[in-house]
Amino acid sequence: MARDICLQQLAVRPRTRAELAGALVKRGISEEVAAGVLDRYDEVGIIDDAAFARAWVSSRHAGRGLARRALANELRQRGVDGDVASEALGELDEETEAETARALVERKLRSARGEPDAVFRRLVGMLARKGYPPGVAIRAVKDALAAQSAEAAEFAEHIDADALADAENDLDSDSRPLD
């Protein structure tokens, strides 16, 4: 029964060990039986959290344009160990992340309407929701606006990306809960 549940789950999409364990517990399988089945699946390579994490990072970054911070959160939600997640995220370097941010901004900018300051805020917000750090988001939007039109270039010229990123980081650190 436990094997059947795991195979049904894996037929839909790859799963982490934690996801399979949760599905087994939800279906009333004892922890002892679940551990035995999951250990065996680990041994034969049917479940591999490291391979799952690498594939997840590659797919979600390429498909949705998610940054490392958002991807780390998704992996954590799926029960991937922190070290395994860090290793998978390490394959996504800062330059690739910045290139993806620029591509997302350029694509969205084609259909963006409104005053440059409003467009700037919307695009930086879009990147922030995808997990991009403030400095990367602000620089990507500033560069894209500067290349768009004379009015947008004039607006972008007055943006101090480093100062805005520092201010954003200060706000983030002020809003973190105390231990």
pLDDT digits (tens, 9 = 90+) for 91-122: 898 999 999 999 999 999 988 888 888 888 99
Residue 174 has pLDDT above 60, yes or no: no
pLDDT band with cut points at 50, 70 and 90 for residue 29: very high
- Work out the mean pLDDT of the chain and round it to a whole number: 86
Query: What does CATH list as the number for 48-92?
Result: 1.10.10
- Three-class HEC string of the chain: CHHHHHHHHHHHCCCCHHHHHHHHHHCCCCHHHHHHHHHHHHHHCCCCHHHHHHHHHHHHHHHHCCCHHHHHHHHHHCCCCHHHHHHHHCCCCHHHHHHHHHHHHHHHHCCCCCCHHHHHHHHHHHHHHCCCCHHHHHHHHHHHHHHHCHHHHHHHHCCCHHHHHHHHHHHHHHCCCCC
